[in-house]
Amino acid sequence: MSILITKDTTFIIQGITGREAVNMSRECLDYGSKIVGGVTPGRGGRDVYGIPVYDTVRQITAKTHVDGAVVAVPPAFTRDAVFEALEGGVKLIVIVTERIPRYEVAQMVELAKMRGARIIGPNCLGILSPGEAKMGGLGGRAVDAKKAFSKGYVGVMSRSGGMTTEMCNTLTAAGIGQSTAVSIGGDAIIGSTYADLMPLFEADQETKAIVIYCEPGGRMEAELAKYVVEQKSRLPIIAFMAGRFMDEMPGMRFGHAGTIVEGKADTTAEKIARLEAAGISIAERIEDIPGLVKKRLGMDGK
Amino acid sequence: MSLFIDVEVDASARSNADLVKKLVEVCPVNIFAASSGKLDIVDAHLDECTLCELCLNAAPPGSVKVKRLYGTKDVLVRQS
Amino acid sequence: MRFYEFESKRLFGKYGIPLPKGSKVAATPAEAKVVAAEINGPVVLKSQVLSGGRMKAGGVLFADNPDQAAEAAKKILALEINGHKPRGVLVEARAPIAQEYYVGVTWDGVARMPVMIFSDMGGIDIEEVAEKHPGHISKRHFSTLMPFSDFMAKELVAGVGLSGDHLNRLSRLAASLARIFQAHGLTLAEINPLARLDDGTFFCLDGHVDMEDDARDTQKGILKDLGIDPEEKRQARPPTSFEIKGAQVDAADPRGVAGNVVEFDGDLGLVIGAGGGSLTLFDAIRKHGGKPANYCEIGGNPSVSKTCELTKLILSKPGVKKIAVMMNVVSNTRVDIVARGVIKGVIESGQKPSEKIAIFRIPGSWEQEGFKILEHYGVEYCDRTVSMFEAAGRAVAKMKA
């Protein structure tokens, strides 16, 4: 199985007529995703690769069941688009847009909580369940995504979209498939953290291990470590930590918006110590990940 | 001078005002420009070509050719 | 973007938060003397720098009369702290303090809500208070959807056991701070210390404000009021001319990103991407003993000319011997377009791509087309079977050869 999306998940794309969203629509369709509509206010009646375009979300939800929405509108319009989807009853929202002010992200997350919905992102590439569907730009074109991602038993979560593909590609090359890969986003405030998604992987019988990509900044890794210990998680976790050089450069921002060393808890050294104390294995290099997965699952013949 | 891409357009196509307008419209990287109804190729934009083939599809077969200047002999051209 | 102390105080002042008497910035010793004369009493002079450790470095001095104030201002204005030159000297009245408190508003990334923090032990690092004196600290999250309401601030202050007149006065200040935080896209609004005088009045002794970069577009009015240049970046250290040029390359063309160029003093130029990939690759180069000349992030499929300009900038940096072009497996950035850009940049710099490009490791979208270009120019490249770490190792090995 997979988490969050399967081949039967229906979703819409908000901002579907934008340049990047048009590409993304093509990629998702080619991968086998069920896109039931697109929304661009003022462009209702058109179509994008056969996907009907509407002016509002409710025009679609009134006709058909919609599980999810990908939001790919400019930052100034994102909050409105997300509120529209949430009030339209959509329960899974992937926000691709970057550079949304933090306060607005917090508002979206708060409303999602009230509506019993889940947000992935912002500033993310979305979700890919190999062999099932992809929701967002993760993996790029369907032919490319099929090279890097394969069906299997590892759940993947990453603060970097590009590194999600890199890690899955490395796993695939080693013969290890993935249940679902989630690009959770690179901002300081995001809809779903590692710890938020853990219970879903926990409940998925086919997921046997977790691989995560981590960076300096924030308390997300500490929150995961706490979760693993308190919930006595059944899943072994392998973490890769990038940005070690940043420990020596406090106050400088590198990489994503959420990546900055402001205090001791932001450093990679501190994060690695916390993760290891919770029994999480640290991969020094990306290519060490497959070996660690096998080792933790007792599949290395030792 | 471009290093990677060259685009050739037939003389008849170059002076066809309707076609010129179409080529200017479809190219995402503005390789084509129009000056008094005639086609200009903007040298400075040639290397930005994304090989999208929209110009090939906009013109009659064979009238627009996209050449890659990096050792690959196959020219992009609309067959029919 | 961090505010200077005087800017933070000006912002607080607009919302009625009391400030010390005087509280004016002087650009010269003569100006400092005038402010001190207006105050007509003992003053404190504080260097306006965006760096910690101001007190220790000698950036805070006291004076009892205007002549002493001019003398102190002269010393402070000449003093560079951790590489930062002061943006003037803040002159304020000094008064006897009965007690110091802490009040701050920031983001809780785990709760994904703003949180107010209060302590009756001000003047020291709040993380230290949290660790050693947990009974003296109180926190209160507040909604971003519901309007802020004063009772939230009262609960905050009552959380450390305060009551009476102090509770009412302090919670009013905390509520103002929360509203400032909400209204101006801040990531931090902090008064530390918040001082109580013997007469029971409170004022902001020192303040810190951090505004989110992505909120700046919506905050142009207040930035103008505070005299902050909308283009001013304020990284942890002032940008170098190389970094300024890098930002110009990125700003000149909206197609894709070739930004966040950071200068280092090594000999290996880096054309790397994207956000996470750049961090991973930079670590890898250092692990192999390589010396990067720069950090950068390309992504979002930059145009050929944009990558070309970035390549030329990096090659023009004194001491750069070769460049390494590396990314994680790419999805939307195209391998062939990046290959064209870097090769063009090398050629326009009057160099040979086969000699200047130590390694090209960008697998993914349009890789077959990209590899044809690289082969044509004799550039060493590798596909996805070579890891990012290994590719970095090859680049470093070439530098030593």
Per-residue model confidence as pLDDT tens digits over C35-71: 999 999 999 999 999 887 888 899 999 999 999 999 9
Going by their DSSP bridges, the two strands C137-141 and C24-26 should be labelled as unpaired
For residue A9, give the 3-state DSSP assignment: coil
Cβ within 8 Å of residue C131, ≥6 positions away: none
Identify the residue among C108, C125, C126, C279 best suited for mutation to test binding to A, counting A beta carbons within 10 A and taking the highest.
C279
Instruction: Give the containing element (helix H, strand E) for A182.
Output: strand A178-183
Q: ipTM of this predicted complex?
A: 0.95
The number of residues making up chain A comes to 302
Assigned fold of B5-71: Alpha-Beta Plaits (3.30.70)
Assigned fold of A10-296: Rossmann fold (3.40.50)
Q: CA–CA separation, C111 vs C36, rounded Å?
A: 46
Contact with chain B for residue C373, Cβ under 8 A: yes
Nearest-Cα residue of chain A relative to residue C237: A252
Per-residue model confidence as pLDDT tens digits over C100-128: 999 999 999 999 999 999 999 998 888 88
Q: Where are the domains of chain A?
A: 10-296
Nearest chain A CA: its distance from C189 CA (Å): 14
For residue A62, give the 3-state DSSP assignment: coil
Cβ-contact C50, C101 below 8 angstroms: no
Q: CA–CA separation, C229 vs C172, rounded Å?
A: 31
Of the candidates A73, A95, A239, A275, the residue with the CA atom closest to the CA atom of residue A167? A239
- Tell me what pLDDT residue C293 has: 97
Per-residue model confidence as pLDDT tens digits over B37-60: 899 999 999 999 999 888 999 999
Cβ-contact C142, C152 below 8 angstroms: yes
Q: How far is CA A44 from CA A14, A17, A51, A55, A263, in A?
A: 12, 10, 11, 5, 49
In this prediction, residue B13 has a pLDDT band, given cuts at 50, 70 and 90, of: very high
Q: CA–CA separation, C296 vs C278, rounded Å?
A: 7
Task: State the amino acid at position C358 in one-letter form.
Answer: A
Per DSSP, A260 falls in state: B
* Angle at which helices A161-173 and A289-296 cross, to 10°: 70
C 55-94 → A contacts, CB under 8 A: none
Nearest-Cα residue of chain A relative to residue C284: A285
- Tell me what pLDDT residue B80 has: 66
List of chain C residues whose C-beta atoms are within 8 Å of the C-beta of residue A105: 112
pLDDT at residue C232 is higher than 90: no
Q: CA–CA separation, C287 vs C245, rounded Å?
A: 28
Cβ-contact C262, C339 below 8 angstroms: no
Return the beta strands (E) in B1-80 as ranges. 5-9, 32-35, 38-41, 64-68, 76-77
Going by their DSSP bridges, the two strands A151-158 and A178-183 should be labelled as parallel
Q: Note whether B3 contacts C334, CB cutoff 8 Å.
A: no
B38 alpha-carbon distance from chain centroid: 13
Q: CA–CA separation, B21 vs B11, rounded Å?
A: 15
- Tell me what pLDDT residue B71 has: 80
3-state helix, strand, coil split of chain A in percent (to 5) is 40, 20, 40
Q: What is the DSSP string of C156-198?
A: HHHTTT--HHHHHHHHHHHHHHHHHHHHTTEEEEEEEEEEEET
More confident residue, C257 or A282: A282
Q: CA–CA separation, C60 vs C37, rounded Å?
A: 19
Per-residue model confidence as pLDDT tens digits over C123-165: 888 888 888 999 999 999 999 999 999 999 999 999 999 999 9
- Tell me what pLDDT residue A302 has: 59
Q: Note whether A102 contacts C279, CB cutoff 8 Å.
A: no
pLDDT at residue C75 is higher than 80: yes
In this prediction, residue C230 has a pLDDT band, given cuts at 50, 70 and 90, of: confident
Q: What is the mean pLDDT of chain C?
A: 94
Of the candidates A217, B21, A260, the residue with the CA atom closest to the CA atom of residue C262? A260
Per-residue model confidence as pLDDT tens digits over C301-319: 999 999 999 999 999 999 9
The catalytic residue positions of A are: 256
Q: With the CA atoms of C27, C32, C34 and C39 taken in that order, what torsion angle do they form, in degrees rounded to the nearest 10? A: 130
Q: CA–CA separation, A163 vs A169, rounded Å?
A: 9
Based on C-alpha coordinates, what's the Rg of chain C?
26
Average pLDDT over residues C83-98: 92
- For chain A (302 residues), the mean pLDDT of every run of 10, in chain order, is 96 92 94 98 93 98 97 95 98 95 97 98 97 96 95 98 97 98 96 98 97 95 97 97 94 84 89 97 97 94 64
Q: CA–CA separation, A164 vs A211, rounded Å?
A: 10
In the numeric block, the tokens 């603060």 are attached to: A159
pLDDT at residue C401 is higher than 80: no
Q: What is the mean pLDDT of chain B?
A: 91
Full set of structural domains in chain C with CATH: 22-93 (3.30.1490.20), 97-225 (3.30.470.20), 241-400 (3.40.50.261)
Q: Which two tokens stand for residue A81?
A: 């688009």
Return the beta strands (E) in C267-312 as ranges. 268-273, 294-299
List of chain C residues whose C-beta atoms are within 8 Å of the C-beta of residue B47: 304-305, 340, 344
- Tell me what pLDDT residue C371 has: 97
List of chain A residues whose C-beta atoms are within 8 Å of the C-beta of residue C327: 162
- Chain B residues with CB under 8 Å of a chain C CB are 3-4, 29, 47-48, 50-51, 68, 70-72
Q: CA–CA separation, C40 vs C42, rounded Å?
A: 7
Neighbours of chain C (3+ CB pairs under 8 A): A, B
